[in-house]
Chain A
Amino acid sequence: MSIPLPVHVGRQGESCEGVAGMAETRPDKKLEPWRDRDAKPYIRIERVTKNFGDFTAVDDVSLDIYRGEIFCLLGASGCGKTTLLRMLAGFEEPTSGRISIDGADMAGIPPYRRPVNMMFQSYALFPHMTVEQNVAFGLKQDGLPKGEIRDRVAAMLELVKLTALGGRKPHQLSGGQRQRVALARSLVKQPKLLLLDEPLGALDRKLREHTQFELVNIQEKLGVTFVVVTHDQEEAMTLASRIGVMDHGEIIQVGTPSDIYEYPTSKFVADFVGSVNLFEGHLVEDEPDHVRVECPELGGCFYVDHGVSAPPEATVWVALRPEKVFISRESPGPGGDNQVSGVIKEIAYLGDLSVYLVQLPTGRMLRVTRPNVRRQDAAFDRLTWDENVWLSWEASSPVVVTQ
């Protein structure tokens, strides 16, 4: 079952250039097995519940994860995502429900007999062993010949660029180096499934970004299935082929990063992933190809170019992303839906973009972001505090959610 290990994962420059391409959803059907009805899931989580005493950590979760995916479980701390991951690893047994990996039921199988490796949030490196011994540990348990262990450890250390530090102990390494040792240790056994618990949590921003792309690279080269737990939506967005948003032990929505961001199915997801303007309202026009939602707080109506399945006069919410709102001094047109005037109350200059908080005539604040396309020098006529502005958006921008 020896899979030849690749020696190079890409030079550092390469991995950074691929930023845009990597985060995009690939339309190739082979890379989106969840759209294929006949595809057999690699991990099958069926109605799994886990109770700790009175507390329900994971509540009736069903989930299919396919071979070669990077699946991110995203949620706030305490939402049950880590418990779900630990059940996959075998550290916890489900109270009810069934987990199977590659067709085999995992019930009662201890962690040391599962075809799964895990990268721990704390890295859990063995402090009394060198980097090499840490990486070799898993192979030694399989009783492999010494020569093979040496070769595979060396190849793995080269993959994570730690060849020079093989003789060091964990306490002599930086945070980023430790993280790479942990990754090497969990990958060296060539698991079919790698579980990562907040893999980038302890790294600073620059290093995180770099490591994210490195992780994706390694995953693509080795063809391992990743299940990643994170509370960081940015991390989930960059890494994931699909994201499962969790809250209070339940999976709220599963989808590609762009599905989750552009088509949230609930207030919770819209609010949790990215920032959003949420308006409560009710349907005044309900057609298959469009709806109109009257929102008292907006002081007008949203015209949305997609249908909604909701009973008439039911309360719905409209989610509008701040970057999808145009802001300008001139009126966008002769009145109607999807436009509103307001006064700029707050401006936050973030360098690449600026955030405006605009107060509507109803008193409600609306958050708008605009990329700083032009340099804001003295000659630039920038929008400023207390200025009257018009806000408008396209009919495709708002999303109507019913819960």
Chain B
Amino acid sequence: MRPVVAGRWAVISLPYLWLLLFFLVPFVIVFKISLSDIRLGMPPYQPMLQWVEAQMVSIQINLGNYAFLFEDPLYRNAYLHSLSTAAVSTFLCLLIGYPMAYGIARTDKSWRNLLLMLVMLPFWTSFLLRVYAWIGILKNNGLINNLLMGMGLIDQPIVMLQTDFAVYIGIVYSYLPFMVLPLYATLEKQDITLLEAAADLGCHPVRAFLAITLPLSMPGVVAGSLLVFIPAVGEFVIPALLGGPDTLMIGKVLWNEFFQNRDWPVASAVAIAMLLLLVVPIMLFQLAQGRQAGGHP
């Protein structure tokens, strides 16, 4: 093997080795646990393989955990609520992020880097700290309520913390940069002469935006939406800190199952089901995207 080829293989295989060790293997373990039965003891699940006699191994596969997910409406509701929360948050991010990205992409070149820096600046502070900061802003005697009451606009504090509203604020705030950056990347490289051509053919700027800019920025819209939607579905910290006790998110259910009920098999089943729920539609979507983009230079 020539050294160049060997080098190329090394470069490719190292990250894959990493993923294999720290992603695929744990995934298989979790998958295995999800097929076992709960028991008291450590670890709190039945081993899958058991020596019955000298040359006999019994394999126990328990599909009951998955069946349980279907039986108990708690899980279905949690899944649905997670999906809808993530979808609404993604949509809000898009609504706020698109004009931001568009504005940055169309400003003078010397300003763009500064504006992008400002978008990324919050990452320099701990995520957890920033979510806690929202508690201080949203709580009953927090920044907003004190301000409004001080101005005499309200005399009762508005309950914002521990509501879905607070969860939306937390998610949109935290994930907005992930929407803005890919959108900016596609909008920034768009050819301005296309808009000139549209105007030249009698197209009003507003219609030109809908007919040219928006369709051509779809790859950015899709990338940004996936980057927001996927982590938002499994989000645990934000609903735990900002949401109420009845904010049912799958991440929270998973946590409860694992640490409060100590039911590792069901918790694992919840995790696997969530993964399938997300991965399958995304893979189908990417396949369709790839087919559509196929042939582009």
Contact = CB atoms under 8 A, between A and B. Distances in A.
Interface stretch (B33-41, B140-148, B169-177, B197-205): B197-205
Interface of B: 191, 193-194, 196-205, 207, 211-212, 215-216, 295-297
Interface stretch (A4-12, A135-143, A210-218, A269-277): A135-143
A124 B297 contact: no
Interface string A112-129: 110011101010111110
A113 B198 CA distance: 12
Contact of A117 (B200, B216, B297): B200
A114 to B, nearest CB: 8
A183 B194 CA distance: 15
Contacts of A138: 201-203
Chain A residues touching B, range = 20 to 34
A37 B234 CA distance: 80
Given A171-B295, A186-B200, A186-B201, 14 more contacts: A91-B199, A111-B196, A113-B202, A116-B200, A122-B193, A124-B193, A126-B198, A126-B212, A127-B216, A128-B216, A137-B201, A141-B202, A169-B295, A189-B202
A172 interface: yes
Contact of B198 (A122, A127, A137, A186): A137
Contact of A120 (B193, B203, B207, B297): B193
Which 5 pairs between the two chains have the least Cβ-Cβ distance?
A: A138-B201, A124-B197, A141-B202, A111-B199, A124-B193
Contact of A112 (B203, B211, B215): B203
Contacts, number: 65
B199 A128 contact: no
A236 interface: no
Interface string A323-337: 000000000000000
A180 interface: no
Contact of A171 (B193, B215, B296): B296
Contacts of B193: 120, 122, 124
A89 B216 contact: no
A328 B255 CA distance: 101
B102 to A, nearest CB: 18
A81 interface: no
Contact of B194 (A111, A113, A117, A126): A126
A118 B200 CA distance: 7
Residue among B194, B204, B205 having the largest count of chain A Cβ atoms under 10 Å: B194
B191 to A, nearest CB: 7
